[in-house]
Amino acid sequence: MTDAVVLVTGGASGIGRAIVDAVLAAGGRAIVWDIDAAGLSACAAAHGARVHPARVDVAEAGAVTTAMAELPPDWAPTHLVNNAGIIGRRMRLAEMDPADIDRVLAVNLKSALYATRAFLDRRRPHPGAAIVNLSSIAARTGGMPGNALYATTKGAIASLTVAAAKELAPDVRVNALAPGVIDTPIQDGVFGGDRGRIAEIARAIPLQRPGAAAEVAEAALWLLSPASSYVTGTVLDVAGGR
């Protein structure tokens, strides 16, 4: 991927940061959008001129349009990873608050639509052009009790992936990853920081452990690379067999 410029939303920490690291290790460059200023600074300090970090709230259409327009010509993206996402507050369906609904939909779903539109407007043509979206196995399982909104957005991401793959072929391949329990800070939020609960869940996973962010990143790198050149419209589980 030595000639690739990969835009990663939510790329300052967790799975997003692991994807940035994997892209750079493979010889590419990365545009990193996030609202985490400290994480962006750490990414820039680690990788220097090979990353182009910017504080962007991808849940805001105008912010995405502006950030894309401000990229220098030599940073026009060739690939896109729609990774930005939040779990949101745990709520029963009868307790859902409109503000919470709007925020989770904006970060998890609308951001992918906004970033994809901006990417298609500005992208530099590339023979291996690809988009990778981050869904979740919660799209099928419904997720943990109280996380119906999160699961719903991830189901929508899976549908968007298949629809976009049809529309953008043959110029751009579009696939998604569906992680399971991955050992990142966001997972602590799902289980309230209860490491014992995470260990209990892990015992029910065929591979007997949570996944690592780097393992999701390797799957993303495969979907971005020529190694998966005949794969599009696919949602790939990275869930240890769960």
pLDDT tens for 98-134 read 999 999 999 999 999 999 999 999 999 999 999 999 9
Q: CATH number of the domain at 151, please.
A: 3.40.50.720
Residue 165 lies in a domain: yes
DSSP state of 5: E
Residue 32 backbone phi and psi in degrees, to 5: -120, 115
Q: At what angle do helices 213-224 and 14-25 cross, to 10 degrees?
A: 50
Residue 207 lies in a domain: no
Question: What is d(CA 12, CA 136) in angstroms, rounded to the nearest whole number?
Answer: 19
Across 173-177, 193-197, 230-234, least confident range: 193-197
Residue 200 lies in a domain: no
Domain count, the chain: 1
pLDDT of residue 22: 98
pLDDT of residue 191: 59
Residues 6 or more apart in contact with residue 136 via CB below 8 angstroms: 143, 150, 151, 154, 178, 179, 180
Residue 107 lies in a domain: yes
Q: What is the pLDDT of residues 50-100, one digit of tens each?
A: 999 999 999 999 999 999 999 999 999 999 999 999 998 888 999 999 999
pLDDT of residue 155: 98
**Three-state DSSP state, 184:** coil
Q: How does the average pLDDT of the chain come out, rounded?
A: 94
Query: For the whole model, what pTM was predicted?
Result: 0.94
Active site residue: 80, 138, 150, 173, which one?
A: 150
Question: What is d(CA 161, CA 177) in angstroms, rounded to the nearest whole number?
Answer: 10
Helix (H) or strand (E) holding 16: helix 14-25
114 catalytic per annotation: no
Residue 93 lies in a domain: yes
Please report which confidence band the pLDDT of residue 197 belongs to, taking 50, 70 and 90 as the band edges. confident
Question: What is d(CA 155, CA 140) in angstroms, rounded to the nearest whole number?
Answer: 7
Please report which confidence band the pLDDT of residue 196 belongs to, taking 50, 70 and 90 as the band edges. confident
Residue 23 lies in a domain: yes
Domain of residue 20 covers 5-184+213-231
Residue 203 lies in a domain: no
Q: What is the pLDDT of residues 213-232, one digit of tens each?
A: 999 999 999 999 999 999 99
Is the pLDDT at 186 greater than 80? The verdict is no
